[in-house]
Chains A and B, each alone.
Chain A
Amino acid sequence: MGKKVAKEVSIAVAEAVAQCNVDVISAYPITPQTHIVEHLSELVANGELDAEFVPVESEHAALSVCIGAAATGARVFTSTASQGLLLMYENLFIASNYRLPIVMVIANRSISGPISIWNDHSDVMTTRDAGWIQLFAENGQEAVDLIYQAYRIAEKCLLPVAVNLDGFTLTHVVEPIEFIDDELLKKYLPPLKMKYKLDPRNPITIGAIGIPEIYTESKKAQDEALKASYPVILRAWREFARLTGRKYNPVETYYMEDAEVALLIMGSLAETAMNAVDYLREKGKRVGLLRFRLWRPFPQREFIKAIGKVKALGVVDRAVSHCSTGGPVGIEVRSALYQSNKRPRVVNFIAGLSGRDVTVEDFVEMFERTYQALKEKPKAAYEIYGVKE
């Protein structure tokens, strides 16, 4: 295997994208995503990457360029965050309905207002109905690996894939990264060959109107395509493990085998939460941790299996769904449980908004509060954790 090198995660992600031999990159700079596309534009300008870098006037245009380029059979990349993702919004739904294998990195950042550049998941959570495959990285190595995997998954499923990295806490830190070598990557990621694409020698129409007599059928077909991506994602991860020894699962677990109380979280905060699990385990508490790596398609079966026999589950959301029945993850977890026979008490915390620190002590506190839920049902569907009264 390759040796580990110290890299800023954004730079490492850009280099992984370059390794995937993309044809077209279109992006607009926005904090904390900028280093990724800045480095890619450098690689193109220096002649190290043979790709078209299309500078655009907005993120709406960036995704439009990617949609057009992908429709011609090009391998494309874009990246954004926060307001940029919101500016892409209408095109997100178009990209997935047109079944275009676009890969996008979202350097997760809170959305205005109030204006903020710091990390939480409020940007991507607004797009959870957009029909994209959505993956969440925990650390720099995973971010890089998810790029390789995202292209393979996108191109096998003909669906766009969003790779989510926590802004700053992942994008701007230097981590030891092991790249996979180019020869191995060639085996893992064959050149993109689209069966149907825009080609004047063989004309087709992409983007026809969905009259009432066909819209429902189009949405059903799209839904089935996303559902069918699930086994393809699992295969992509099995194959990746075979080539690199690095194992990936839709739901990662930590000390879940005999856990009676667990927390569920997404993204880089899970590493902090692991320390809280270690601390409480030393004290003899049977606690565990769950992390969704795959958020769309929702890993229903793996989630239900992974919760084992927990009696109380604390869901840590990193976004607010104002006056809903929970945070975005909390809502879906409760709904997923309702479809199963398992009925742990669910406590829903909304924490770490706009880069506010969530420390090991905070996670210990959340574990304690989840324990309390065993005795007493939580009064509210969700609470904004750590808010100053």
Chain B
Amino acid sequence: MPRNEGLMSWKDLAPGMYILEPGNSVKFRTGDWRSFRPVLDKEKCIKCGQCYILCPDGCYSEDEEGYFVPDLNYCKGCGICASICPKKAITMVLEEA
């Protein structure tokens, strides 16, 4: 049997592969492209929010304690947050295979 890697049957696609449900890209988890993930050291973090501002994918959000944490479902592991962090509180850690 050939591998069936399609997301859905071609018969279920709208004509022209139009997307009829607005805003559904949120369902498409792009975090699996990542090879390094950002890990926050809360001891060093001063909650300045620069990671939140500069993340090109907008995956950082503020948690209840005021720390900014990335949503790993969408983080591509670009490392901008780690590079910009003034306190070096974010380190990029190799994802396990």
Contact = CB atoms under 8 A, between A and B. Distances in A.
A and B interact: yes
Interface of A: 97-100, 158, 195-196, 203-206, 208, 210-214, 216-218, 220-221, 224-225
B10 A204 contact: no
Contact of A217 (B7, B15, B19): B7
16 contacts: A97-B16, A97-B17, A99-B15, A99-B16, A158-B16, A196-B16, A203-B22, A204-B18, A204-B20, A205-B19, A206-B16, A206-B18, A217-B7, A217-B10, A218-B17, A221-B17
Interface string B78-92: 000000000000000
B5 interface: yes
Contacts of B9: 217
B10 to A, nearest CB: 4
A218 B13 contact: yes
Contacts of B11: 221
Nearest to A210: B17
Given A158-B15, A196-B14, A214 B6 contact: yes
A70 to B, nearest CB: 11
A103 to B, nearest CB: 17
Given A99-B16, A158-B15, A221-B13, A205 B6 contact: no
A97 B14 CA distance: 12
A205 B10 CA distance: 17
Nearest to A219: B10
Nearest to B11: A221
Interface of B: 5-11, 13-20, 22
A74 to B, nearest CB: 16
B6 A224 contact: no
A217 B17 CA distance: 9
Given A196-B16, A208-B18, 17 more contacts: A97-B17, A99-B16, A100-B16, A196-B14, A196-B15, A205-B19, A208-B19, A213-B5, A214-B6, A216-B6, A217-B7, A217-B13, A218-B10, A218-B17, A221-B10, A221-B13, A221-B17
B47 to A, nearest CB: 36
B8 A217 contact: yes
Contacts of A210: 17
A55 B16 CA distance: 27
B66 to A, nearest CB: 35
Contacts of A195: 15
A346 B78 CA distance: 59
B94 to A, nearest CB: 25
A213 B22 CA distance: 20
A222 to B, nearest CB: 8
B18 A224 contact: no
Identify which of B7, B8, B15, B19 gathers the most chain A CB atoms within 10 Å of its CB: B15
B21 to A, nearest CB: 8
Nearest to A206: B18
A205 B7 contact: no
B33 to A, nearest CB: 11
The 8 closest A-B pairs by CB, nearest first: A99-B16, A205-B19, A217-B10, A220-B10, A213-B7, A221-B10, A98-B16, A203-B22
A225 B17 CA distance: 12
Contacts of B20: 196, 204
Nearest to B19: A205
A195 B11 CA distance: 17
Identify which of B13, B18, B20 gathers the most chain A CB atoms within 10 Å of its CB: B18
Identify which of B14, B16, B19 gathers the most chain A CB atoms within 10 Å of its CB: B16
B15 A225 contact: yes
Contacts of A211: 7
A50 to B, nearest CB: 28
Contacts of B18: 98, 196, 204-206, 208
Contacts of B22: 203-205
A216 B7 CA distance: 10
A15 to B, nearest CB: 31
Contacts of A225: 15
B7 to A, nearest CB: 4
Contacts of A216: 6, 10
Contacts of B14: 196
A214 B19 contact: no
